[in-house]
């Protein structure tokens, strides 16, 4: 084993570790033995010195240790390669109908702190923790060996890195630079993706199946795609025969790409750069109505402190959507905030429907695509909640 020291847990704090939860918070630790620097590998033992697991440590984070393995093994090139190969193999078995997929979903693939998405021949890698950051070259080698990708783009620019004491790092990490607008195919539809500075790793891969599902309800309908980003739900809706598709986003840049994405698929749509809350209020005041509305806002909640304000935001936008829907209309409403539980989100949408004076039934509960799996021993990996509602 190539560990630098040992983390001894407090009494009765070993149960989550024994049950496979990959995080150890500062409060569970009695002491750290040995010369351990942040990012180093540590053995984790119970208060009675029973070996439990191996992980990497960071004293700058409330999550002191993230666990990599529950066996006595060496964390070397072979380890990373076999973990990565296993994650990639699990994706292959899903038979995903897209060239943009998540290959590695951090903790859910027992690779805490590491996100890797594949876009055609390129990989985009996010190192979210120090333990991954200091090993990124070794991990990049393993990724290339397993996938044979033409290049790896690093997008370590997520704000969570601050909690680890890390700054933002972006750029081509390995191989060739990708085209400025790389084309991917999702359920037969083409999308341009900007890997260098698009949101997240470039595309909201997690909404793939929800886009196709909602599209099935759009033939002949007037569709309002709110928080459209590069047009994902809108392109799918238009391709499925929507009568009209209005895409709304506050960013002009992403709407330009949305427009090109419609063109790529020989579809037409409308693109409006506006604050969603203001525009929907304006539509309501004008008496404008739609048959299908998609609400896919950005993460409103980053910490417990934001929760109340965010809940109000979710309620307001859902209330407006209910008010804008025609009789028997459809609302597809999402929250990607991990801190908002499915239960709480449903309560928020309930509050909105009451205030709107409408009736609605949930026709389907939606979630993240299967390449973003939820590890049973790490329920925190469940973050995307959606409700597909029929409204009258
Ligand atoms: N549905 C999209 C992803 C949406 S991401 C897809 O399938 O790809 C959320 C989007 O909301 C981002 O593009 C962001 O620019 C936009 N946004 C954030 N705040 C907004 C606001 N107040 N009004 C309109 N758009 C907003």
| Closest atom of ligand 1 relative to the 227 alpha carbon | 11
Same domain membership, residue 101 and residue 18: no
Residue 341 sits in the same domain as residue 301: yes
Distances (CA, A) of 376 to 21, 65, 107, 183: 9, 19, 11, 34
Ligand 1 centroid distance, CA of 251 (Å) = 8
Does residue 163 share a domain with residue 89?
Answer: yes
Q: Is residue 93 part of a domain?
A: yes
257 touches ligand 1 (CB under 6 Å): no
Q: Does any domain span residue 365? A: yes
Is the CB of 299 inside a 6 Å radius of any atom of ligand 1? Answer: no
Tell me how many domains the chain contains. 3
For residues 131 and 261, what is the distance between their CA atoms, to the nearest angstrom? 38
pLDDT at 303: 85
Q: Please provide residue 291's backbone torsions phi and psi, each rounded to the nearest 5 degrees.
A: -95, -35
Residue 186 lies in a domain: no
Residue 267 is predicted with a pLDDT of 98
- The finding on whether 207 has its CB within 6 A of some atom of ligand 1 is yes
Decide whether any atom of ligand 1 lies within 6 Å of the 254 Cβ: yes
Cβ of 251 below 6 Å from ligand 1? yes
Is residue 272 assigned to a domain?
yes
Judge if 247 and 269 occupy the same domain: yes
- Residue 223 and residue 353 share a domain: yes
- Name the pLDDT band for 200 (thresholds 50, 70, 90): very high
CATH code, domain carrying 23: 2.30.130.10
Is 156 in the same domain as 271?
A: no
Ligand 1 center to 255 CA (angstroms): 10
Atom of ligand 1 nearest to the CA of 249: 25
**b/e string for 34-45 if b means 16 or more Cβ within 10 A?**
eebebbbbbbbb
pLDDT band at 1 (very low <50, low <70, confident <90, very high): confident
How is residue 306 annotated by DSSP? G
Confidence (pTM): 0.97
Report the separation in Å between the CA atom of 30 and the middle of ligand 1, taken as the mean of its atom positions: 44
- The alpha carbon of 111 and the centre of ligand 1 are apart by a number of angstroms equal to 29
How many whole angstroms from 150 Cα to the centroid of ligand 1? Answer: 30
pLDDT over 90 at 34, yes or no: yes
* Residue 95 belongs to a domain: yes
Do 139 and 33 lie in one domain? The reply is: no
Note whether residue 194 is domain-resident.
Answer: no
CATH number where 100 lies: 3.30.750.80
How far does the centroid of ligand 1 lie from the alpha carbon of residue 174, in Å? 30
Same domain, 118 and 64: no
For residue 387, the domain's CATH number is: 3.40.50.150
User: Is residue 180 assigned to a domain?
Assistant: no
Q: How many CB atoms lie within 10 A of CB 94?
A: 12
User: Which residue among 250, 255, 366, 384 is best mutated to probe the pocket of ligand 1, counting the most ligand atoms within 8 A of its Cβ?
Assistant: 250
For position 301, what pLDDT does the model report? 84
Is 112 inside any structural domain? yes
What's the mean per-residue pLDDT of the chain?
A: 97
Cβ–ligand 1 distance for 209 under 6 Å, the answer no
CB distance 229 to ligand 1 below 6 Å: yes
Q: What average pLDDT does range 218-243 have in this prediction?
A: 98
- CA dist 149 and 121 (Å) reads 5
What is the number of the ligand 1 atom nearest to the C-alpha of 254? 13
- Confidence at 252, pLDDT banded by 50, 70, 90: very high
**pLDDT, position 31:** 97
Boundaries of domain holding 40: 5-69
151 and 231 together in one domain: no
Regarding whether 210 and 261 lie in a shared domain, the answer is yes
Q: Which residues are identified as catalytic?
A: 336
Place 302 in a pLDDT band, splitting at 50, 70 and 90. confident
- How confident is the model over 131-186, as pLDDT tens digits? 999 999 999 999 999 999 999 999 999 999 999 999 999 999 999 999 999 999 99
Do 356 and 210 share a structural domain? yes
Final residue belonging to a domain, choices 157, 175, 193: 175
Chosen domain end from 175, 194, 214: 175
* pLDDT (0 to 100) of residue 341: 95
What is the 3 state secondary structure string of 7-57? EEECCCCCHHHHCCCCEEEHHHEEEEECCCCCCCEEEEECCCCCEEEEEEE
Of the chain, the percentage scoring pLDDT greater than 70 comes to 100
Task: Using the 3D structure, point to which of 175, 195, 223 is the last residue of a domain.
Answer: 175
What gap in Å lies between CA 328 and CA 318, rounded to an integer? 16
Q: Model confidence at 197, in pLDDT bands (50, 70, 90)?
A: very high
Q: How far apart are CA 195 and CA 179, in angstroms?
A: 9
Pocket test for ligand 1, best of 187, 203, 226, 227 (most atoms within 8 A of CB): 227
Is there a single domain that holds both residue 98 and residue 37?
Answer: no
Q: pLDDT at residue 205 above 80?
A: yes
Residues 6 or more apart from 370 whose CB is under 8 A from it? 94, 96, 209
* Pairwise CA distance, residues 167 & 278, whole Å: 34
> For a pocket test of ligand 1, which of 212, 229, 292 has the largest count of ligand atoms closer than 8 A to its C-beta?
229
């Amino acid at each position: 084993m190539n560990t630098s020291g040992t983390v001894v847990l407090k009494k009765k704090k070993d149960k989550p570790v024994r049950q496979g939860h990959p995080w150890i918070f500062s409060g569970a630790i009695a002491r750290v033995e040995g010369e351990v620097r942040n990012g180093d590998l540590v053995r984790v033992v119970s208060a009675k010195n029973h070996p439990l697991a191996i992980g990497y440590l960071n004293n700058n984070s409330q999550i002191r240790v993230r666990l990599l393995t529950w066996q006595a093994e060496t964390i070397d090139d072979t380890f990373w390669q076999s973990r990565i190969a296993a994650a990639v193999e699990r994706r292959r078995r899903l038979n995903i109908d897209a060239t943009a997929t998540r290959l590695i979903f951090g903790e859910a693939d027992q690779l805490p702190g590491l996100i890797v998405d594949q876009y055609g021949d390129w990989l985009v890698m996010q190192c979210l923790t120090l333990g991954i950051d200091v090993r990124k070259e070794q991990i990049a080698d393993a990724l290339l060996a397993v996938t044979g990708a033409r290049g790896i783009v690093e997008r370590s620019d997520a704000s969570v890195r601050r909690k680890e004491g890390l700054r933002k790092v972006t750029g081509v990490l390995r191989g060739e630079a990708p085209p400025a607008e790389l084309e991917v195919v999702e359920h037969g539809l083409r999308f341009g993706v900007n890997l260098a500075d698009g949101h997240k790793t470039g595309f909201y891969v997690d909404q793939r199946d929800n886009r196709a599902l909602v599209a099935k309800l759009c033939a002949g309908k007037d569709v309002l795609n709110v928080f459209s980003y590069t047009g994902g739900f809108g392109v799918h809706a238009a391709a499925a025969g929507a009568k009209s598709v209005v895409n709304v986003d506050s960013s002009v840049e992403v709407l330009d790409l949305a427009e090109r994405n419609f063109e790529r698929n020989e579809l037409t749509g409308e693109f409006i750069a506006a604050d969603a809350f203001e525009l929907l209020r304006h539509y309501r005041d004008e008496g404008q109505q739609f048959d299908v509305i998609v609400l896919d806002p950005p993460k409103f909640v980053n910490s417990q402190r934001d929760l109340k304000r965010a809940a109000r935001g979710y309620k307001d936008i859902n209330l407006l959507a209910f008010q804008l829907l025609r009789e028997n209309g459809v609302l597809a409403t999402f929250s990607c905030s991990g801190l908002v539980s499915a239960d709480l989100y449903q309560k928020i949408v309930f509050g909105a429907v009451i205030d709107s004076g409408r009736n609605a039934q949930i026709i389907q509960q939606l979630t993240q695509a299967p390449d973003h799996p939820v590890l049973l021993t790490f329920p925190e990996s469940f973050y995307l909640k959606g409700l597909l509602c029929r409204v009258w």
